[in-house]
Amino acid sequence: MKVTGRRFAIVLLAALAAALPLAISHPFLLHIATQALIWALLATSWDLLSGHTGQISFGHAGFFAIGAYAAAIASARLGVSSWAGMGFACATTALVGLIVGFPALRLRGHYLALVTLGFGEIVGLVATNWQDLTGGPFGLHDYGTFSGLPVDLMAQRQISYLIVLAVSVATMLLLWWLCRRTDAGPAFHAIREDPILAESLGIDTTSYKLLAFTLSAAAAGLSGSLYAYYIQLVSPTIGSAGNSALVIGMAVFGGIGTTWGPFVGALLLYGLIELLRFVGVVYNLIAVGLVMVVFVIFVPRGLAGLRLNPQRRKLRADALRRQGG
Amino acid sequence: MAEEILEFLVIGFVLGGIYALFAVGITLIFGVLDVINVAHGEFFTLGGYTAFVTIVALNLPPAASLPLALAVTFVLGLAVYPGLISPLQERLGRRASGPLFLVLTLGLSTVMQNTMLAIAGGEYLTVPPLVRGSVDLKFTFVSNQRVIIFVVAVTALVALFLFLRWHRQGAAIRAVMQNPDAAQAVGIPLPAIFTLTIGLGCGLAGLGGALIAPLFNVYPAVGFSLTLKAFAITILGGLGNVLGALIASFVISNVEALSVLVIPSEWSNAIAFGLMILVLLVRPQGLLGRRRP
């Protein structure tokens, strides 16, 4: 089958790309690549809730921040290992996602977007003002990094990169599998396209919406905990509306509703932002804004929707039609 | 205690004027176009920078800053519909837009905010007040700038309401708010009304930005935080309900001002969002809103 060959090529290409920062092993390059992967996981988590299920979140950086703080607090106060910290972060954000999901069940479209925006702001305010728990505006630090890293600095960076790579790619594949290979995917899409019709078809929209909220928040929290252990500093600014906007920009860039599109989009856009740093720090955000505007109007399906070979696309569409799909 | 309350109420009403200039524009644009303008705060910021350029850089009479800020943001706002919204509407046709317009205006907001950062730098610029001195209200002193803010804001809002009530174009705007298809059927040119509405909304925001500039400083992100708060206000008043937004602005500003007596001031920013979430849960159509079909 042709598809197998293509898939093999994609996997090989991805593996090569993942190995590249290790092969070059320049500290700066590794640093960028690691952070890009953390963002990629966050963009993918946003895509599950907003791209697949159509429940637009404008406060995803809030989940990210809760995950980061949960991990940092668990390690600082209880002295747990980073693995337990990551699990704790996941559980906490999953619970928060479930709680945010309940009121969101009643809301659609603009209203939901504004509630999630408000949620993100409240997370930021709590992080700034609950000084006993969160360390206030300066945040938390000195709670340690990933457990069991070697002493050598370069090796530390490499292992950190591998951990972040493994966790984010594995989570992305898990979410991709969920949306493509289980009943949850079509249910999510049905809710996105027409919730009332979905309900009339016997889809339990309440449960699936809550599932999307919980899983999406947990994945966002996981990426937050990766951030916490990698950067080793969490402060209220990571939950800002600007970061939520950046995540949406990344997902739009990559192509919403495809899971892997936002992942790749985030990697590329983050790389672009860092490259533009050499031109000037303000220009990279102007570029992000322009990408959002241009892609929304002209490339609505993002990078994932681009076809390098239109002829093959036609062939595939014809083949699908013949199968009656 | 009573004097304290009066003092904070004065602060609340002045702030409410600014909130109202801002939130009325957002809700007007939403009512007419069904688009939430995330970039609204950046027009507010632009108004502030226009005031700075007028008064400090060009050394023009301070009073000129208000009409100039209104004009600059109005003209730029006129470009938003033909430049951004219309192309996306055309591409979408009759399909559901979902979050796309939010993402679009969020992109515009990011571009504008960082362009201003690139040009003006991140410093907090101070703008001198239009008139110095203050008024003695027996229980408290109110700076003349605050008086001007309140008077100009109320005048502008009254003018807007008169325009919407009596002017032909204003009536056309209300017609489009009620039913775009029917409005088009009786010969109202939708694109012209869409363009004008965004221009008006952004102009009001710019005027607000110029008014408050002497009180707060001007910096690139000054408007964005207000955008978030204005969303809470518009929800409280009912999305698309202009009068509701006006009332909610003064409710939120006074609750915020008075809250200082009860809770630490750093939490006062949470009030608007807390109220917003509460309203959405209990009464999603807003305080004055009617249920949308």
Domain ranges in chain B are 2-282
Indicate the length of chain A as a whole number.
325
Residue type, B91: R
Q: Which of A14, A220, A5 is nearest to A119 (CA)?
A: A220
Q: Give contacts of B37 with chain A, Cβ < 8 Å.
A: none
Digitized pLDDT (tens) for each residue of chain A, 325 residues in all: 456 777 777 777 777 777 777 777 788 888 888 999 999 999 999 999 888 888 888 889 999 999 999 999 998 888 888 889 899 999 999 999 998 888 777 777 777 887 888 888 889 888 888 888 888 888 888 887 888 777 788 888 888 888 889 899 999 999 999 888 888 888 888 888 888 888 888 888 888 889 999 999 999 999 999 999 998 889 988 888 878 888 888 888 888 888 888 998 898 888 888 887 777 767 777 888 888 888 888 887 778 777 655 666 666 667 666 665 4
Q: Is residue A275 part of a domain?
A: no
Q: What is the pLDDT of residues A86-107, one digit of tens each?
A: 999 999 999 999 988 887 777 7
Overall domain count for chain A: 1
Chain B stretch 224-263, residues whose beta carbon is closer than 8 A to a beta carbon of chain A: 224, 228, 231-232, 235, 239
Q: Which of A20, A42, A41 is nearest to A30 (CA)?
A: A20
Q: How far apart are CA A301 and CA A61, in angstroms?
A: 23
Q: What is the pLDDT of residues A114-168, one digit of tens each?
A: 788 888 888 988 888 888 888 888 888 888 788 877 778 888 888 888 888 989 9
Q: Which of A193, A296, A298, A301 to mutate to test the interface with B (most CBs of B within 10 A)?
A: A296
Q: Give contacts of B89 with chain A, Cβ < 8 Å.
A: none
- In this structure, what are the phi and psi dihedrals at residue A258, rounded to the nearest 5 degrees? -125, -5
Residue A135, sorted as left (phi over 0), alpha (psi -120 to 50) or beta, turns out to be left
Q: Is residue A196 part of a domain?
A: yes
Asked if the interface predicted TM-score (ipTM) of this complex is over 0.85, the answer is no
Q: How far is CA B34 from CA A111, A196, B83, B102, B177, in A?
A: 12, 21, 17, 10, 9
Indicate the length of chain B as a whole number.
293
| Class in CATH terms, B2-282 | mainly alpha
Q: Is B120 on the interface with A (CB under 8 A)?
A: no
Residue type, A282: V
Q: Work out whether strand A140-141 and strand B134-136 pair parallel, antiparallel, or are unpaired.
A: unpaired
Q: Is B274 on the interface with A (CB under 8 A)?
A: yes
Q: How far apart are CA A66 and CA A224, in angstroms?
A: 7
Lookup: tokens for B184? 């088009």
Q: How far apart are CA A35 and CA A20, in angstroms?
A: 15
pTM across the whole model: 0.84
**Domain enclosing residue A185, as ranges:** 27-240
B182, with CB counted inside 10 A (0-12, 13-18, 19+), is exposed
Around Cβ B7, how many Cβ atoms within 10 Å?
Answer: 16
Residue A134 three-state SS: helix
Q: Which of A74, A125, A90, A124 is nearest to A224 (CA)?
A: A90
Question: CB distance A122–B274 less than 8 Å?
Answer: yes
Residue A87 to chain B, least CA–CA distance (Å): 29
Q: Is residue A292 part of a domain?
A: no
Question: CB distance A290–B280 less than 8 Å?
Answer: no
Q: How far apart are CA A101 and CA B200, in angstroms?
A: 36
First to last CA, chain B: 47
DSSP conformation class of A141: E
Q: Is residue A181 part of a domain?
A: yes
Q: Is A280 on the interface with B (CB under 8 A)?
A: yes
B2, with CB counted inside 10 A (0-12, 13-18, 19+), is exposed
